[in-house]
């Protein structure tokens, strides 16, 4: 059988970049496709610059092409290009259908599940998720923290704690992290520095296990740290888990604020109530003179929340101790509860608790 452009396209439609909502053809990532006899050469571009993702896409694309009838040689070139303004996931999610929380019976013991999300990467979701969980736990609530960032887990580092234990039936016990929060993260299971390679169905399975096979026990609030953007993990979780609501994290820069709007639009489409907006890395207070500098502009988060008609949950200042604490398993709420940043997190936690309670 001779190879056609069509069959190659069809094969590549089975490949999706990690974190992306649509396959590489739909997302317009396949830039060149040459067929010469039984040899195929394709060029794929990946916005965002994650070499581990490039390897995954290269491996997957090579595999589907080699499986194709008539292909003897498949040459796949994956090039990383600069990210499009902020967004990591190249394509918009295919949402629209009502969500159907099929995993609802697996999370019966959990009263409220709150997702922490952002349109743009690196704005501080994991930091907010960890500190929010700890602040809620200090309010005598039973709190769990699920690291939903399967491709790039970080809660093993932020929250500390050992390895999770499993019983004979395969059920997994979450780690009791310092501060009284039950934590589950793929990073607690995997060896450090190993790239995570989940293909579509396996990814679903991994998420389902995290939700269903972990013995969470009775939990008041489960905080879910989501990967950036609106990719397949975010959509899978929002569709299948009965979310009480989502907290959107942004920084004051315009690009982040634009992406926060995209995140809001996605949650609205998915029927997940948005509990409000957190502005992180809001300002810097000079430790010696006390002067406050709004490095990225003043009041952008609050204004955006007002324009979007969602509550503004609080502004968290830039604090170098957030970085060191996040790297050593001591989030600022625990390490320096009297700091302005920790106080901001306590305020945010109070509003989140009130919001989920008033909704349930
Ligand atoms: N308020 C803050 N002050 C200083 N540093 C901060 C603050 N918030 C977050 N950071 C630092 O910024 C970096 C990114 O934060 P974090 O990992 O929480 O972001 P993220 O949105 O979860 O990223 P990703 O999209 O990669 O998951 C970390 O090094 C963190 O310590
Ligand atoms: Mg993160």
- Ligand 1 within 6 A of CB of 348: no
pLDDT tens-digit map of 36-56: 888 898 888 887 767 888 888
Which pLDDT score is estimated for 213?
85
Last residue of a domain, one of 49, 81, 113: 81
Other beta carbons less than 10 A from residue 169's beta carbon: 6
Which pLDDT score is estimated for 274?
96
Nearest CA to ligand 1 atom 26: 122
Which pLDDT score is estimated for 14?
92
Checking if the pLDDT of 68 tops 60, the result is: yes
Last residue of a domain, one of 44, 66, 81: 81
Of 120, 124, 185, the residue with max ligand 1 atoms within 8 A of its CB, to mutate for a pocket test, comes to 124
Whether residue 69 is found in the same domain as residue 108: no
Of 322, 325, 329, 341, the residue with max ligand 1 atoms within 8 A of its CB, to mutate for a pocket test, comes to 322
Whether residue 66 is found in the same domain as residue 202: no
Last residue of a domain, one of 48, 81, 114: 81
Which pLDDT score is estimated for 192?
62
- Ligand 1 within 6 A of CB of 121: yes
Checking if the pLDDT of 88 tops 50, the result is: no
pTM: 0.74
pLDDT tens-digit map of 263-293: 999 999 889 999 999 999 999 988 889 899 8
Does a structural domain hold residue 90?
A: no
What value does the mean pLDDT take over residues 103-117?
A: 89
Which pLDDT score is estimated for 273?
95
In the reported structure, the alpha carbon of residue 180 is separated from the centroid of ligand 2 by a whole-number distance in angstroms of 21
Whether residue 39 is found in the same domain as residue 175: no
Distances (CA, A) of 294 to 70, 302, 317, 321: 60, 13, 9, 18
- Ligand 1 within 6 A of CB of 282: no
Which pLDDT score is estimated for 198?
57
Checking if the pLDDT of 103 tops 70, the result is: yes
pLDDT tens-digit map of 1-26: 578 888 898 999 999 988 888 888 88
Whether residue 291 is found in the same domain as residue 206: yes
CA–CA gap between residue 129 and residue 246 (Å, rounded)? 11
What value does the mean pLDDT take over residues 68-97?
A: 63
Whether residue 255 is found in the same domain as residue 339: yes
- Ligand 1 within 6 A of CB of 251: no
Kindly state the tokens that stand for 210: 């995290």
Whether residue 64 is found in the same domain as residue 137: no
Question: Are the C-beta atoms of residues 249 and 223 closer than 8 Å to each other?
Answer: no
Which pLDDT score is estimated for 37?
86
3-state secondary structure of 285: strand
Whether residue 72 is found in the same domain as residue 35: yes
Does a structural domain hold residue 315?
A: yes
Does a structural domain hold residue 128?
A: yes
Does a structural domain hold residue 87?
A: no
Whether residue 58 is found in the same domain as residue 173: no
Q: What is the CATH number of the domain that holds 72?
A: 3.30.300.130
Which pLDDT score is estimated for 122?
93
Spell out the alpha helix ranges (H) of 146-291: 155-159, 186-189, 200-212, 232-240, 254-269
Whether residue 58 is found in the same domain as residue 128: no
What value does the mean pLDDT take over residues 20-33?
A: 82
Checking if the pLDDT of 95 tops 70, the result is: no
Cα dihedral 41/42/48/50 (nearest 10): -40
Does a structural domain hold residue 92?
A: no
Does a structural domain hold residue 86?
A: no
Contacts of 296 (CB under 8 A, 6+ apart): 251, 252, 253, 281, 282
Q: What is the CATH number of the domain that holds 156?
A: 3.40.50.300
- Ligand 1 within 6 A of CB of 326: yes
Which pLDDT score is estimated for 29?
83
Nearest CA to ligand 1 atom 2: 318
pLDDT tens-digit map of 221-241: 999 999 998 888 898 888 888
pLDDT tens-digit map of 147-184: 998 878 899 999 987 888 877 777 888 999 999 999 99
- Ligand 1 within 6 A of CB of 280: yes
In the reported structure, the alpha carbon of residue 184 is separated from the centroid of ligand 2 by a whole-number distance in angstroms of 14
Q: Which of 192, 158, 144, 147 is nearest to 322 (CA)?
A: 158
pLDDT tens-digit map of 287-327: 889 899 888 888 889 999 999 999 999 999 999 999 999 99
Nearest CA to ligand 1 atom 28: 323
Kindly state the tokens that stand for 82: 């600069």
Whether residue 112 is found in the same domain as residue 64: no
Checking if the pLDDT of 90 tops 50, the result is: no
Domain tally for the chain? 2
**Could you tell me which residue, 21 or 132, shows the higher pLDDT?**
132
Element (H, E) at 353: helix 340-359
Does a structural domain hold residue 94?
A: no
Does a structural domain hold residue 99?
A: no
Whether residue 59 is found in the same domain as residue 167: no
Which pLDDT score is estimated for 351?
98
Whether residue 110 is found in the same domain as residue 25: no
| Domain containing residue 72 | 5-81
């Amino acid at each position: 059988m001779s190879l056609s452009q069509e069959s190659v396209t069809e094969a590549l439609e089975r490949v999706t970049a990690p974190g992306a909502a649509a396959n590489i053809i739909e997302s317009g990532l396949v830039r060149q496709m040459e067929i010469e006899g039984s040899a195929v050469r394709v060029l794929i571009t990946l916005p965002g610059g994650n070499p581990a993702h490039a390897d995954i896409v290269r491996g997957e694309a090579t595999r589907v092409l080699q499986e194709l009838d008539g292909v003897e040689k498949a040459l796949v070139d994956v090039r990383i290009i600069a990210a499009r303004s902020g967004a990591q996931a190249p394509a918009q999610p295919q949402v629209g259908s009502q969500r159907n929380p099929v995993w609802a019976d697996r999370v019966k013991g959990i009263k409220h599940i709150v997702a922490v999300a952002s349109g743009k990467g690196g704005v501080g979701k994991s930091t907010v998720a960890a500190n929010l969980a700890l602040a809620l736990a200090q309010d005598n609530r039973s709190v769990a923290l699920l690291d939903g960032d399967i491709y790039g887990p970080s809660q093993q580092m932020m929250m500390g704690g050992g390895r999770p234990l499993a019983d004979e039936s395969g059920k997994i016990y979450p780690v009791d992290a310092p501060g009284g929060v039950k934590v589950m993260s793929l990073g607690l299971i995997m060896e450090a520095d190993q790239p995570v390679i989940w293909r579509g169905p396996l990814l679903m399975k991994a998420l389902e296990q995290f939700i269903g096979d972990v013995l969470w026990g009775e939990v008041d609030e489960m905080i879910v740290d989501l990967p950036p953007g609106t990719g397949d993990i975010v959509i899978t979780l929002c569709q299948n888990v009965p979310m009480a609501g989502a907290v959107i994290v942004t920084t004051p820069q315009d690009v982040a604020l634009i992406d926060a709007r995209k995140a809001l639009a996605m949650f609205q489409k998915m029927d997940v109530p948005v509990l409000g907006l957190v502005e992180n890395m809001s300002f810097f207070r000079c430790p010696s003179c006390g002067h406050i500098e709004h490095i990225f502009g003043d009041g952008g988060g609050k204004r955006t929340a007002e324009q979007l008609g969602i509550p503004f949950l609080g502004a968290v200042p830039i604090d170098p101790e957030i970085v060191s604490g996040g790297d050593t398993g001591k989030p600022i709420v625990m390490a320096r509860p009297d700091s302005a940043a920790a106080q901001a997190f306590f305020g945010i936690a109070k509003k989140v608790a009130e919001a989920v309670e008033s909704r349930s």
